[in-house]
Amino acid sequence: MRVLGIIVIILGLASLVLGILFIPQAASGHKQVADSVAPLTVDQINPQYDKVSATFDKLMAAEEPKIQQGADPSPMYNYISAQRALLGLAKANVGTVSAVRTNGIIDIILGVGLVLTGVVIFRQKAAA
């Protein structure tokens, strides 16, 4: 029984270490995303993406027939298209950072639970 308790404690400590490592990585990623969209705040990414996407849809309806005929798209079409793509990447990165932070918190909670469970198992007397 003691060996099982030691194994559970080791798994709990590993989970705790991973959780502690994930939290600073998430904070670093959040800062990097915030720096990359500097004029905007992270909270403004979704509304700005929706606004640019609506503009892009309207512009695409007007530009698509010209593009299919072989004409070059207008500079505004290219600009809005690039802006939409970059805001979409920022949205994805914010989601990834949130997932990493949540994963770190869950790992810490699981690690504490496993360590406590391992201690309980370790202290139990062997059943005869």
Q: Is residue 76 part of a domain?
A: yes
Query: 3: helix, coil or strand?
Result: helix
Q: Is residue 38 part of a domain?
A: yes
- Whether 14 is covered by a domain: the verdict is yes
Q: Is residue 50 part of a domain?
A: yes
Over range 10-18, report the average pLDDT.
95
- What pLDDT is recorded for position 60? 81
Q: What is the largest CA-CA distance in the chain?
A: 86
Assess whether pLDDT exceeds 70 at residue 126.
no
Residue 70 — left, alpha, or beta (φ > 0 → left; ψ -120 to 50 → alpha)?
left
In a domain, residue 12? The reply is yes
Does residue 128 belong to any structural domain of this protein?
no
Q: How many domains does the chain have?
A: 1
Domain range spanning residue 51? Answer: 2-123
Q: Is the residue at 64 inside a domain?
A: yes
- The whole-number average pLDDT for the span 97-101 is 94
Residue 113 lies in a domain: yes
Tokens 């949540």: give the residue.
102
In this structure, what DSSP letter does residue 125 have? Answer: P
Q: How far apart (Å, rounded) are the C-alpha atoms in residues 28 and 109?
A: 21
Q: Which of 31-40, 105-114, 118-127 has the lowest mean pLDDT?
A: 118-127
